[in-house]
C-alpha cells in the first residue's frame, strides 16, 4: 500500500463543511417568525389615559397595557442583555469558563435577536408610522428615546447572526471581539433610550397643545 493509499481512510473521515444555505435558511425562518408575530399581535401600544403631554411615547408605551408592555418591551430585553453582558465578561476573562456559560451566552444572543426583531416590527407598524403620520412626536427627546430603543436591533441582530455563523467568518478572537463590541453598543443605545424616555419632553422645548387627537399615545 502506498503512502497515498494509507491517507485515504483518514481523508474519508473528515466532516464536510456545513453549506452556507443552511445558515441562511435558519435566519430566514427565524426572521419570518419574528416579523409575523410582530405584525399579527394586536395593538397594545395605546390605552385611554396612558401617557400625557408630560410623558414621552417611550414611557407611555411602558405604562400602557400593564404589566404586559413592561414585561415584553423592557423586562425581557433587559434580562437577556444583562445575561449577555455577564456571560460575555466571564468568557473574556476566564480561559476555562464552564460550557454552560458559553451555551447561556449563545442562547441569550439568539433569543434576544429574534425577540427584538419582533419588537421593532411591532412598534414600527403600531407606533412609529401612526405617530409620524399624525405629526405626534413630542420633541427631540421623544424621537431620541424611541429611535435609540429601535436602534437596539442592530447590535442584537448582529449578535444573533454571529451565533448563526452568518457574520464573523474570521478567527475565534475576532468573533469574540465583535461579539463584545455589539453587546456594548446595545447597552449604550438602551441607556440613551431610557434617559431620554424618562425625561419630561417639555424640558427640551416641546409644548403640549390644548387639544390632542385620539390615538396619539403609544
Domain count, the chain: 1
* Tens-place pLDDT, residues 74-128: 999 989 989 998 998 888 887 788 889 999 999 999 999 999 999 999 999 998 9
| φ and ψ of 37, to 5 deg | -65, -45
Q: Is the pLDDT of residue 133 over 80?
A: yes
List the end-to-end C-alpha distance of the chain, in Å, as a whole number: 76
| φ and ψ of 66, to 5 deg | -65, 145
Q: Nine-digit cell at 12? A: 474519508
Q: What is the pLDDT of residue 136?
A: 87
What is the C-alpha to C-alpha distance for residues 150 and 182, in angstroms, rounded to an integer?
Answer: 15
Range 143-148 average pLDDT: 95
Average the pLDDT over each of 36-40, 67-71, 129-133 and give the range with the smallest value: 36-40
Confidence band for 50, pLDDT divided at 50, 70 and 90? very low
Look at residues 46, 63, 52, 47 and name the one whose alpha carbon lies nearest to residue 210: 52
Q: Is the pLDDT of residue 189 over 90?
A: yes
Q: How many separate helices (H) and strands (E) can be counted in the chain?
A: 10, 0
Mean of the per-residue pLDDT values for the chain?
79
Domain that holds residue 42: 22-204
- Residue pair 11/92 in contact (Cβ under 8 Å)? The answer is no
- Whether residue 32 is contained in a domain is answered as yes
- Whether residue 33 is contained in a domain is answered as yes
- Whether residue 213 is contained in a domain is answered as no
- Whether residue 168 is contained in a domain is answered as yes
* Tens-place pLDDT, residues 1-28: 554 454 444 444 444 444 444 665 666 6
- Whether residue 79 is contained in a domain is answered as yes
- Whether residue 200 is contained in a domain is answered as yes
- Whether residue 14 is contained in a domain is answered as no
Confidence band for 207, pLDDT divided at 50, 70 and 90? confident
Three-state secondary structure call for residue 147: helix
Confidence band for 145, pLDDT divided at 50, 70 and 90? very high
Q: What is the pLDDT of residue 11?
A: 40
pTM: 0.75
Average the pLDDT over each of 73-82, 130-139, 201-210 and give the range with the smallest value: 201-210
- Whether residue 209 is contained in a domain is answered as no
What is the C-alpha to C-alpha distance for residues 39 and 67, in angstroms, rounded to an integer?
Answer: 21
Q: What is the pLDDT of residue 128?
A: 92
What is the C-alpha to C-alpha distance for residues 88 and 51, in angstroms, rounded to an integer?
Answer: 37
Amino acid at each position: 500500500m502506498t503512502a497515498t493509499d494509507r491517507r485515504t481512510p483518514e481523508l474519508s473521515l473528515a466532516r464536510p463543511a456545513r453549506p452556507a444555505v443552511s445558515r441562511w435558511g435558519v435566519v430566514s425562518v427565524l426572521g419570518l417568525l419574528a416579523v409575523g408575530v410582530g405584525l399579527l399581535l394586536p395593538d397594545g401600544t395605546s390605552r385611554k389615559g396612558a401617557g400625557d403631554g408630560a410623558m414621552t411615547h417611550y414611557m407611555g408605551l411602558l405604562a400602557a397595557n400593564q404589566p404586559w408592555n413592561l414585561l415584553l418591551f423592557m423586562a425581557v430585553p433587559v434580562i437577556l442583555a444583562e445575561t449577555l453582558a455577564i456571560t460575555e465578561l466571564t468568557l473574556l476573562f476566564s480561559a476555562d469558563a464552564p460550557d454552560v456559560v458559553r451555551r447561556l451566552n449563545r442562547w441569550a444572543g439568539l433569543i434576544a435577536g429574534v425577540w427584538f426583531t419582533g419588537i421593532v416590527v411591532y412598534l414600527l407598524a403600531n407606533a412609529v408610522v401612526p405617530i409620524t403620520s399624525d405629526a405626534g412626536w413630542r420633541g427631540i427627546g421623544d424621537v431620541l428615546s424611541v429611535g435609540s430603543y429601535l436602534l437596539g436591533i442592530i447590535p442584537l441582530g448582529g449578535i444573533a447572526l454571529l451565533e448563526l455563523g452568518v457574520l464573523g467568518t474570521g478567527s475565534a478572537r475576532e468573533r469574540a471581539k465583535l461579539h463584545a463590541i455589539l453587546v456594548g453598543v446595545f447597552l449604550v443605545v438602551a441607556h440613551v433610550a431610557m434617559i431620554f424616555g424618562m425625561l419630561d419632553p417639555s424640558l427640551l422645548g416641546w409644548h403640549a397643545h390644548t387639544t390632542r387627537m385620539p390615538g396619539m399615545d403609544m
